[in-house]
Amino acid sequence: MATLMEKLIAPVAEEEGKVPNHKITVEAIGQVSMACTISILGKSLTAEFALVDVLEDKLKGEMMDLQHKGLFLQTPKILADKDYSVTANSKIVVVSAGGERHLNLVQRNINVFKLITAQIVKYNPNCIIIAVSNPADILTFVTWKPSGLPNSCHRWILGEHGNSSMAVWSGVNVATVSLQEVNPEMGIDNDSENWKEVHKMVVESAYEVIKLKEYTNWATQLSVADLLESMLKNLSRNHPVSTMVKGMYGIENEVFLSLPCILNKLKDKEVDQLKNSIQKNLKEL
């Protein structure tokens, strides 16, 4: 016969085995890590949160302390374990081990970060990793390099929506680093890395979608929602939208083409390409 305590704590329904939405993990339980933990939980950013650290006793103590504050938190599931499997299915993992300030003392942290990154990627191959440590630049690189995770890459496609569109190669950047500074030949005919093929793939991708499903639609709807968010929230973000280009970059024709709504200066060669796109567009009118 079940005791009163067993009756009180018995689950009323089986827990569903769903993959959590927006699960967040904080690695390590030092002062910086726990400050991040309290800040994250205080903002109610996730329904599932995990802590991981090899220091079992301290980890257990932090977990109990957080559970005692559960009344004031809106994160229903908080996990903690020394095994990195507890991090599985995390959307974001915050790594805050180490913290040596002097360059000659960072080798230990580099080795630690390499081990941590391997475990994180093992259970979270598609997560976003945020490195919070000193020196920030070095340890961010050490986290990214062995992870195999991609960097964020941005590029503008301007002009006509179609074959005569132009790629703004001077604006291509990965994590704010200009790739044209690394490869000055990017996008030109004798580019050994053949970046022009990337632009060709962008142009032809729509035709491939149409071939497979007879029409394209999702990019348009998502773009509309993105535009509405910027306008309603006054975010002042750049958007490539079709706009009147007369008077810009010496263009005298009354024609609408895709340009960023907050313009950055184009290089002379890119201005020529934009004008060429306009002439081809006018011939279609």
Which residues carry out catalysis? 161
- Cα-to-chain-centroid distance, residue 202: 20
Tell me whether residue 124 is annotated as binding.
no
Report the candidate in 166, 157, 155, 199 with the shortest Cα–Cα distance to residue 279: 166
Tell me whether residue 106 is annotated as binding.
no
The residues, any chain, with a CB within 8 Å of residue 240's CB and separated by 6 or more, are: 156, 157, 158, 258, 259, 260
Task: Return d(Cα 168, Cα 200) in angstroms, integer.
Answer: 13
DSSP state string for 58-105: HHHHHHHHHHHTGGG---SEEEEESSGGGGTTEEEEEE------SGGG
Task: Return d(Cα 252, Cα 177) in angstroms, integer.
Answer: 34
Q: Is the Cβ–Cβ distance between 280 and 164 less than 8 Å?
A: yes
Task: Return d(Cα 142, Cα 235) in angstroms, integer.
Answer: 33
The residues, any chain, with a CB within 8 Å of residue 144's CB and separated by 6 or more, are: 129, 151
Tell me whether residue 264 is annotated as binding.
no
Tell me whether residue 126 is annotated as binding.
no
Tell me whether residue 133 is annotated as binding.
yes
Task: Return d(Cα 148, Cα 132) in angstroms, integer.
Answer: 19
Annotated binding-site positions for NAD(+): 53, 109, 132-134
Annotated binding-site positions: 53, 109, 132-134
